[in-house]
Amino acid sequence: MQAREPQPILASITEAAIFLTLTVELGAQEGVRDLLSDVSGLRRSVGFRIPEAELTCVAGVGAALWDRLFGVPRPAGLHPFRELNGSRHSASATPGDLFFHIRAHRLDLCFELAQLLTARLNPYAQVADEVHGFRSFDERDLLGFVDGTENPEGSAGRAAVLIDEEDPEFAGGSYVVAQKYLHDLQAWNALTVEEQERAFGRTKLSDVEFPDELKPANSHLALNTIVDENGEQQQIMRFNMPFGRVGAGEFGTYFVGYVRGPEVIEQMLENMFIGRPPGSYDRILDFSTAVTGNLFFVPTLDFLDNPPTRARAAVRSTEDAPVSSDGSLGIGGLKGSSPAA
């Protein structure tokens, strides 16, 4: 089988990003399909002028829109985002059919590409959420801790995010979970540095993880290391970014996590919001509220550049049915890392 080219998920960390989530009107499938086939060309039109800015764009499709655009088969792990309601905190599902993760070393390039994409989609889709992220010092979030330390590197990064033989129809694709968290910085900054470090399970200044025996049971890292039934740690790639509006008192982190199977991030979120054991939820959630939640499939560049029609997709596998979205987690074999670890 000819190798399929993934979208630029594993691009280097940049100083700026724009995250766009859109909902698509009924009957607008053809217009959306045409736009998806032009995403690569639009990115080149903007990025070629300043190549050192390294402009990239990753596009994702939600479960409901996938069915309308392409029919069956659906990627094995694609389903609506699963809400979680814990004893004190909730991870809500919010509207979203299309997702664009635009990155560059300069915000102006991100802005122009976002403008071109939304202009093309204007007759067919509405922006449900738009976040402009920025790099903060040495990769710190607005809580003051380094974000993304546990990202795998090199071949381990590819293995963590790219589908392989487990779903050969969609090999080279990936899944992305996107959530917007708002922080209560006044309450957070009222804590001592030592209390903040216990909440995270790592030191604030030097970014060193606590030994396992010193991590509180409800700390971010204690709850959020995922291992499979063989004791192997399961990895994801996080490209979180801070955002905010000083005058409005809005301070947040946009979580975007890529993974080859969404059950890994779903287990992370269950640990965070429900707890392990239940009730021992992530201490960070007392200061960070999730206000959006979506799951998208990220097809390969080959698929995106020449997306099939729904009829053609149905011909490929007429016996496959869409994955059930009955809300069952179906995690199996995973236990015990966090979107923001």
In a domain, 46, yes or no: yes
Q: Could you report the per-residue pLDDT of 171-210, keeping only the tens digit for each?
A: 999 999 999 999 999 999 999 999 999 999 999 999 999 9
In a domain, 287, yes or no: yes
Q: Could you report the per-residue pLDDT of 273-295, keeping only the tens digit for each?
A: 999 999 999 999 999 999 999 99
Tokens of 98: 């299309």
Decide: helix, strand or coil at residue 291. coil
Amino acid at 36: L
In a domain, 86, yes or no: yes
In a domain, 332, yes or no: no
Percent of the chain beyond pLDDT 90? 85
Give residue 244's domain range. 16-316
- Domain count of the fold of the chain: 1
Contact (CB, 8 A) for 227 and 234: yes
Backbone phi, then psi, for 74, in 5-degree steps?
Answer: -95, 145
> Cβ of 267: how many Cβ atoms within 10 Å?
22
In a domain, 233, yes or no: yes
Residue 335 has pLDDT above 60, yes or no: no
Q: Which residue has the higher pLDDT, 26 or 230?
A: 26
Instruction: Give the pLDDT score at 327.
Output: 41
Q: Which of 97, 129, 147, 282 is catalytic?
A: 147
Decide: helix, strand or coil at residue 234. coil
Mean pLDDT of the chain: 91
Instruction: Give the pLDDT score at 227.
Output: 87
In a domain, 94, yes or no: yes
Residue 138 has pLDDT above 80, yes or no: yes
In a domain, 4, yes or no: no
Instruction: Give the pLDDT score at 311.
Output: 53
Decide: helix, strand or coil at residue 66. helix
In a domain, 270, yes or no: yes
CA distances in angstroms from 95 to 54, 115, 129, 178, 277, listed in the order given: 30, 21, 9, 12, 30
Backbone phi, then psi, for 310, in 5-degree steps?
Answer: -65, -40
Is 34 assigned a catalytic role? no
- Tracing tokens 């959530």 back to the chain, one arrives at 179
Instruction: Give the pLDDT score at 206.
Output: 97
